[in-house]
Structure 1
Amino acid sequence: MNRQSPKSIVTDFQRAWNAHDADALAELFVKDADFVNVTGLWWTTKERIRKAHEFGFAHIFGSSTMNVGRTEIRMLGADHAVVHARVTVTGQHTPDGQLAEDRRTVFSFVVTRLHDEQGDYWRAVSAQNTDVVPGGPDTHVNSPDGQTAVRYRD
């Protein structure tokens, strides 16, 4: 693990996810962090992030595997960065226990550099996970019947 790279957040998140370890996952965040999941649920504080993932591993993602693809880092000065990563999760289960299709998302992390006796390391201040909608719609339109993916371009 390269603690000196902002990318360590993504690789360590993947490692914690694949171990289904909510405690290790939460340790990647500062105490007052924010996390917005793919459905817009917004968890504030490291402990709420831990509890949400603990539930997810127990009921939804207990046999899942996360694979990280393209990862980009944009430095915001010397001690802060935005990290984006394409992610595929396999092994999610539906509420009735059936295996769901693979889920593709883009993870966005805002990270800050911290320091301890072993040197510099990075922690997430904020994270957002965004579903990549199959078929590549331009956006969604809400109606009384629900949400529909739409294209505005040919």
Structure 2
Amino acid sequence: MNQSTEAAKIPMRFQEAWNTHDMDAFGRLFHPDATFVNRFGSYWRGVNQIVTGHTGIHATIYRDSTLENDAPDVDTIADNAAILHFWSRLSAGDAHPAGPHQIDTLILAVVTLREGEWRIQALENVTLTNPMTGAVRLRS
């Protein structure tokens, strides 16, 4: 099994869990002691906080949203650890208060292999904005 290939599957698994709004599958992406920083700077420690933080938005404003994640850049730092960088496009639907719109984010994830399974140890999500105006923008 190619370790970097297995680690590189995480963004697609993330996308599938998001698009089906399956918070159980979403939770299985993370180690129990994982951390998550969302695009607004909220910091969650532990898979329970991560899932709880996402369950509410998937029941409300993101209930009809989808993600499209690009293939990641993978930097293997050990046999059991890698850093992933990948672009993600969120398409919000009618359920969002701002109506349908898209947001691009860049995700940095540290993934590790424990007990035979690659999972996320730490993830940070940054919204793409114009640094001069702060306006959200889509990448080219």
Give the TM-score normalised by the residue count of structure 1: 0.78
Shift of residue 100, structure 1, vs aligned partner: 3.6
Inter-CA distance 11–69: structure 2 relative to 1 (3 Å threshold): same
Who is 2:134 aligned against?
149
Aligned to 2:83: 82
More helix by percentage: 2
| Distance in 2, Cα, partners of 1:82 & 1:54 | 26
Amino acid at match of 1:108: L
The alignment's TM-score, normalised by the length of structure 2, stands at: 0.85
Matches within 5 A, 1:7-18: 7-18=8-19
Give the structure with the larger strand fraction: 1
3-state DSSP of counterpart to 1:12: helix
Whole-angstrom distance in 2 between the partners of 1:73 and 1:131: 20
Deviations along 1:1-55, one digit per CA (max 9) or x if unpaired, are: x986111211111110000111110111111110000000001110111111111
Q: Secondary structure at the match of 2:6?
A: coil
Query: Which sections of structure 2, spanning at least 5 residues, go unmatched?
Result: 136-140
Amino acid at match of 1:5: E
1:104-142 deviation digits (Å, cap 9, x = unpaired): 001111010123xxxx32011111111011xx426xxxx
Which amino acid in the other structure matches residue 39 of structure 1? F
| CA-CA distance at 1:91 after TM superposition | 2.2
C-alpha distance in structure 2 between counterparts of 1:57 and 1:149, whole Å: 26
In structure 2, the residue matched to 1:27 is: 28
Percent of matched pairs sharing the same residue: 29
Amino acid at match of 1:35: F
Q: Deviations over 1:66-123 (max 9, x none)?
A: 111242011111111111110101124433xx524201001111010123xxxx3201
